[in-house]
Copies of this chain bind each other. A is one copy, B any other.
Amino acid sequence: MLADELGLHVSTVSRVLNGRYGATGAGSETVARIRRLAQERGYRPNPHATSLRTRRSHLVGVLVPRLADIVLATIYEGVEEAATALGYSTFVTNSRDEPELQRAKTEMMLSRRVDGMVFGDARSDARFVDELAARGVPFVLTNRRAGDHPSATCDDYDGGRQVARHLLELGHERVAVLAGEPYASTGIDRTRGCLDGLREGGVDVPAAWVVHSPFDAAGGRAAAEQVLAGPERPTAVFAVNDFAAIGAMGALRDRHLQAGEDVAVVGFNDTPLARQLPIPLTSVRSPVREMGREAMQLLHRLLAGEAVQSLLLPPRLVVRASSAGHLGDPAVVEAPALTRRAGPAPAGSR
């Protein structure tokens, strides 16, 4: 179409617009004419024709457990950001952490002829990614790692250790961990890091205080309730995820306990809500957007045939009121005022 108008052959136009073959593939005069008209017409090559010919779609499939989870949504934003910068477009979809859906959605992506996949939902109990690797499908993991597959994730183990150090400094000796889903490397590594860190500080966490649950507020609330139903009460609760931490705060409040005063609460990811909560939440900030960006860049290099190495991005603890640490100050910790405060509150308000 451009070619006709310029009285040139379509191949010449293509050569120029793709700018390979030595300098430009045409005389500078011709090049200028082509570029000018392309600009003027807002010409965009038909990507379907290009894909058909080049066998490269510049399409990438992204799977996440749940896009309505702000952590995954933000990771996806990072993926998409890098994808756009590198000339790819992305399809995203939810797998709801269901292996069959993960499989079905991936096949759908592949039938759409994506060049590669980014998985934010790898399960340590499923061999799905192993199979894909065996089939030669290019992919990168993010959010959760698995096996030796290339990934860009947060150093969750270190994040867990930072939480342990913080709680030890505050003098906590009775710590419960809301450990998330047992098949997610995030929950596993954060929990292990915390338990290891505490152990090094001489604090052991009883098995009954490591409770698995979904990564949302309802899950955190249920897990916290389970812990609080026991005979002894922990002085600190580490939830491997901010939403679970919010749920834990709710469970505490139901028992007339206040986060940050009666029980320290620590979350993970430092979602924007953490600092805005009525009782601001201590949380480990993880570089979620960067994770997504890096994952996409790894995939790009993989697609270019390079060998890539997995990335572990550093987290950082952000201390707020929910673990402000009045522990060690008996006047505050045991303050009758605190008990009284909660006591007379009308039951109807909860």
At the interface, yes or no: A324 with Cβ under 8 Å from chain B?
A: yes
A93 within 8 A of B: yes
Residue from B108, B246, B324 within 8 A of A349 (CB atoms):
B324
The answer to whether residues A349 and B279 also contact, given A77-B94, A92-B92, A218-B272 and a CB cut-off of 8 A, is yes
Interface 0/1 of A243-286, CB less than 8 Å to B = 10011011011000001110000000000110011111000000
A198-246 contacts to B (CB < 8 Å): 216-218, 221, 243, 246
Question: What is the CB-to-nearest-CB distance from A30 to chain B, in angstroms, rounded to a whole number?
Answer: 24
Whether A273 contacts B261 by the Cβ 8 Å rule is no
Whose C-beta in chain B lies nearest to the C-beta of A341? Answer: B341
- Give bound CA distance, A57 to B92, whole Å: 17
Sort chain A's interface into a size bin. Answer: 35 or more
Tell whether, in the assembled complex, residue A349 and residue B326 are in contact, meaning their CB atoms are under 8 Å apart. Answer: yes
- Segment from A21-29, A66-74, A179-187 that makes contact with B: A66-74
Q: Are B57 and A68 in contact (CB under 8 A)?
A: no
Q: Is the CB of A48 within 8 A of B44?
A: no
Q: Is A111 an interface residue (CB 8 A)?
A: yes
What separation, in Å, do the CA atoms of A52 and B113 have in the docked complex?
Answer: 14
A89 near B89: Cβ-Cβ < 8 Å = no
Chain B residue at minimal CB-CB distance from A288: B68
Cα A272 to Cα B113 with chains together (Å): 35
Copies of this chain held together in the complex: 2
Cα(A80)–Cα(B66), bound, Å: 13
**Interface members, chain A 95-147 (any B CB < 8 Å):** 108, 111-113
Decide if A326 touches B348 in the complex (CB within 8 Å): yes
Residues of B within 8 A of A49 (CB): 48, 52
| Cβ-defined contact, B276 with A47, below 8 A | no
A76 → B minimal CB distance (Å)? 7
Residues in B neighbouring A93, C-beta threshold 8 A: 80
Q: Which of A25-70 contact B (CB under 8 A)?
A: 44, 46-49, 51-52, 57, 67-68, 70
User: Could you give 25 example pairs across A and B, Cβ below 8 Å?
Assistant: A48-B51, A48-B113, A52-B52, A67-B77, A68-B74, A68-B77, A70-B70, A89-B91, A89-B108, A217-B272, A217-B273, A217-B276, A217-B277, A218-B272, A221-B276, A247-B276, A250-B276, A250-B277, A252-B278, A261-B345, A261-B349, A321-B348, A324-B349, A326-B348, A337-B344
The list of the 5 closest CB pairs from A to B, nearest first, reads A217-B276, A44-B111, A68-B73, A48-B51, A48-B48
